[in-house]
Amino acid sequence: MAKKAISKNNINLRFNIATILTYFVGIVLIVQLFNLQIVHGEEYREQSNTRLTRESSLEAARGKILDRTGSVLVTSETTFAIELYKSKVDSETLNNSMLAIVNTLSKYEKYKPDTFPIQVKPYKYTIEGEELVNWQQTNGITIGKTAEQVFNEFKEKYEIKNKSVEDARKIIGLRYEIGKNGYSSTRPYRLANNMPREAVSEFCEKSAEFPGINIVVEPKRQYTSGTVASHILGYSGRITEKEYESRKDRYDINDIIGKTGIEYVFEDYLKGTNGIKQIDMGVDGTASGEYVTQDAIAGSNVVLTIDANLQKIVENALATNIQKIASGGFGKTYDAQAGSAVVMNVKTGEILAMASYPDYDPSLFIDGISTANWNKYNNDPNKPLVNKAMQMSYPPGSTFKMVSAIAALESGVISPYDKINDTGIYHFGNQDWRCWYYTDYHTGHGWLDVSGAIKNSCNYYFYEVGNRMGIDNLVKFAKYFGLGNKTGVELRGETKGVLASVQAKEKLGESWVPGDMLNAVIGQGLNEFSPLQMAKYISTLANGGNKIDVSIVKTIINADGTEVPREEINEYVNKKLGIEPEEDDGIELNKDYLNIVLGGMQSVTQEVGGTAYNIFKDFSIKVGGKTGSAEAPGNKVHAWFVGYAPFDDPEIAIVVMVENGGHGNYTAEVVRDIMAEYFGMNTQDIQEDISAQVYTEILN
């Protein structure tokens, strides 16, 4: 009985002790909680607020743009930017930091001038009139106060003490700019881009003076060949607020985005995927550590069909030719200031070179183009920002006559050997239509078949065949060659041009009249096509009448080395640019007719009397070609030359157009020089010259 009583008492004792301990623990916890929340609550809240974790983006390297040989045309280089996060520091510390930031940035010529509209010594507003009134109202300033009074109000607002007037102005300027743009503990204010390494080192070494400062490592776009292929490559720049609003899921407010050209169209591939970096910081802006939580993935590389070396040759040849025409180098001076050229693989439709003159420097847009440079480009009447090879259209003149010849032959209104007598003046209706030959020499070409009509570019001949076949047949075959429709090239802003037709005339609110046919058949009237469309047309002629898909993008290579399927690229481009697939018209060209027309093009360059014989008579490669002198508004005469080579087994087609170039024969020089480069003739000549020079030196 005794043992049982003792055992029961022990149990009761242990229970009482446990109860007492629990009670005291509860009391301790309550006291501690009271101590944390009430007695030292403010202190501990202050301490907890000094530990912040901020997420920052690791900007992915933008994909490269390369030519068909792998030469890099656009890449990215590593640069540094300076950002400022909002820190919980007192006004004196903040103002000292602002002054140090301005002085340091100014030392390296990286301080962006602020927009605070007051200067000191002497005090003066830098804006006036309605602009000043609006600024005062926006900032809650009493109208009529002097610049000095307002300046002192801002000093008081920002609690600036014991600073010289000049230093106070620097602090106010930066704080005003930051306040206007906004920043927080998680959203930084970008102070400067493209910081030199010496400046970055100074900010790092004196980090205590710069609370909230963050160094950002980011890629900067680099156009390795200056202005070469600028209209193809396009340019990129800082994302705008409008662009950012619809892309927040993938972009940061300071990201680079493509604006024009390949940079724009293939933005989704070039962009890459940003990584994430976490930064542990105190409210005073001191970073205690940082680590990457998600790696950045570089953008894909876009490989173009162009050859960079050939592109340079084409651009130089075009510019030289335009300057020669403008200076009277061909005997007569024309106000030629602009033009374009296209080189195309006739079998694949790949663009090997595409030049537009004048050009521009895409690197000027990287950090935001200056007002002076923008006005220079934007106000230039020769439109250097426009790709004239595919964004503008022009009357083709006589370069259209091969289409007219094919249409007439296929329609059966002439045979390959039918001849028409050009008497110089074609009488039609109540009007006399003169052949260019009559205008120059007061006589006609005489009897010509279709090949001879192409060789001599006889308007009279084509007036007659046009009158015989009618506009519908001409339109049918012009469409087959892609005229009056977009080529589908992977660039924004391509023009459809205009194909002369009854419907095109009706769109203008006018009725088709018989005389319109005579204009249309010689490449005048409503007809307007881009040089790129013309290159597709000539390529189709040269390759035996086979339709081609025009392209300037060869492939896309992802960061992991895989290649994007062509079907995916086509689908992406069609959706991005709103391109509709071309419908099959069911036309099959008669090869015999095609060869007759091509023979006429050969006679243009290879036979005496051909309109480009003087340019190609000593050329070692046989060329098919056609000159064109197209009348345009403003009493201008645009100069065209279209050609292909080698004649027996065509590889390339070349189209050159010079605005107000006077005569198509003048532009034939450009085609000849491009062909010489493409087929290695210039290299051979240079090698022979070098060999001769070495031999002479040995003898001496």
Contacts of 208 (CB under 8 A, 6+ apart): 286
- Domain ranges in the chain? 308-374+385-547+582-683
- State which CATH number among 3.40.50.970, 3.20.20.110, 3.30.200.20, 3.40.710.10 fits the domain covering 308-374+385-547+582-683: 3.40.710.10
Give the integer Cα–Cα distance in Å for 179 and 631. Answer: 58
Contacts of 63 (CB under 8 A, 6+ apart): 266, 269, 270, 271, 272, 298, 299, 300, 301, 302, 559
pLDDT, tens digit, 9 for 90 and up, residues 150-184: 999 999 999 999 889 999 999 999 999 998 888 88
Contact between 672 and 616 (Cβ < 8 Å): yes
Contact between 403 and 537 (Cβ < 8 Å): yes
Contact between 68 and 229 (Cβ < 8 Å): no
Mean per-residue pLDDT, 245-262:
89
Contact between 282 and 67 (Cβ < 8 Å): no
Please state whether 432 falls in left (phi above 0), alpha (psi between -120 and 50) or beta. Answer: beta
Mean per-residue pLDDT, 451-466:
96
Contact between 538 and 655 (Cβ < 8 Å): yes
- In Å, what is the CA distance from 551 to each residue of 129, 299, 314, 574, 655? 55, 21, 18, 12, 16
Q: Examine residue 633 and say whether the peptide bond preceding it is cis (omega within 30 degrees of 0).
A: no
Given a cut of 90, is residue 614 above it in pLDDT? yes
DSSP 8-state assignment for residue 112: P
Residues of the chain above pLDDT 90, percent: 73
DSSP 8-state assignment for residue 622: -
What band does 44 get if pLDDT is binned at 50, 70 and 90?
A: very low
**What residue ranges in 347-453 does DSSP mark as E strands?**
351-357, 420-422, 425-428, 431-434, 446-448
pLDDT score at 25: 42
pLDDT, tens digit, 9 for 90 and up, residues 297-345: 999 999 999 999 999 999 999 999 999 999 999 999 999 999 999 999 9
Between 54 and 488, the higher pLDDT residue: 488
| AA letter at 409 | L
pLDDT, tens digit, 9 for 90 and up, residues 202-252: 998 888 889 888 888 878 899 999 999 999 999 999 899 899 998 888 888
Contact between 237 and 368 (Cβ < 8 Å): yes
Angle between helices 591-606 and 531-542 (to 10 degrees): 110
Pull the structure tokens for residue 409: 């032959």
| AA letter at 402 | M
Give the integer Cα–Cα distance in Å for 60 and 297. Answer: 6
Given a cut of 70, is residue 396 above it in pLDDT? yes
CA 613, 619, 622, 627 torsion: positive or negative? negative
| pTM reported for the whole predicted model | 0.81
Q: Cβ atoms within 10 A of the Cβ of 202, count?
A: 17
pLDDT, tens digit, 9 for 90 and up, residues 339-352: 999 999 999 999 99
Q: How many helices (H) and strands (E) does the chain have?
A: 26, 22
Return the residue matching tokens 């065509």.
650
| Mean pLDDT, the chain, integer | 88
HSE-CB for 607 with a 13 A CA cutoff: 15
| Phi, psi for 213 (deg, rounded to 5) | -75, 140
Mean per-residue pLDDT, 527-555:
97
Give the integer Cα–Cα distance in Å for 512 and 523. Answer: 16
- DSSP-assigned beta bridge partners for residue 79: 218
pLDDT score at 16: 54
pLDDT score at 17: 47
Return the residue matching tokens 């059966």.
412
Give the integer Cα–Cα distance in Å for 468 and 423. Answer: 18
Give the integer Cα–Cα distance in Å for 367 and 365. Answer: 6
Residues of the chain above pLDDT 70, percent: 88
What band does 689 get if pLDDT is binned at 50, 70 and 90?
A: very low
Q: Examine residue 211 and say whether the peptide bond preceding it is cis (omega within 30 degrees of 0).
A: no
Contact between 66 and 306 (Cβ < 8 Å): no
Q: Which of 44-53, 56-65, 475-484, 645-654 has the lowest mean pLDDT?
A: 44-53
Mean per-residue pLDDT, 494-510:
97
pLDDT score at 285: 56
- Angle, alpha carbons 257-105-367 (nearest 5°): 20
Pull the structure tokens for residue 20: 């007492």
Return the residue matching tokens 């009158």.
467
pLDDT score at 208: 83
Identify the burial level of 365 via C-beta atoms within 10 angstroms of its C-beta, where 0-12 means exposed, 13-18 middle and 19 or more buried.
buried
Q: What is the CA radius of gyration of the chain?
A: 37
Contact between 278 and 53 (Cβ < 8 Å): yes
Give the integer Cα–Cα distance in Å for 628 and 612. Answer: 10
Return the residue matching tokens 């929340």.
37
Cα–chain center distance at 201 = 35
pLDDT score at 54: 67
Given a cut of 90, is residue 653 above it in pLDDT? yes
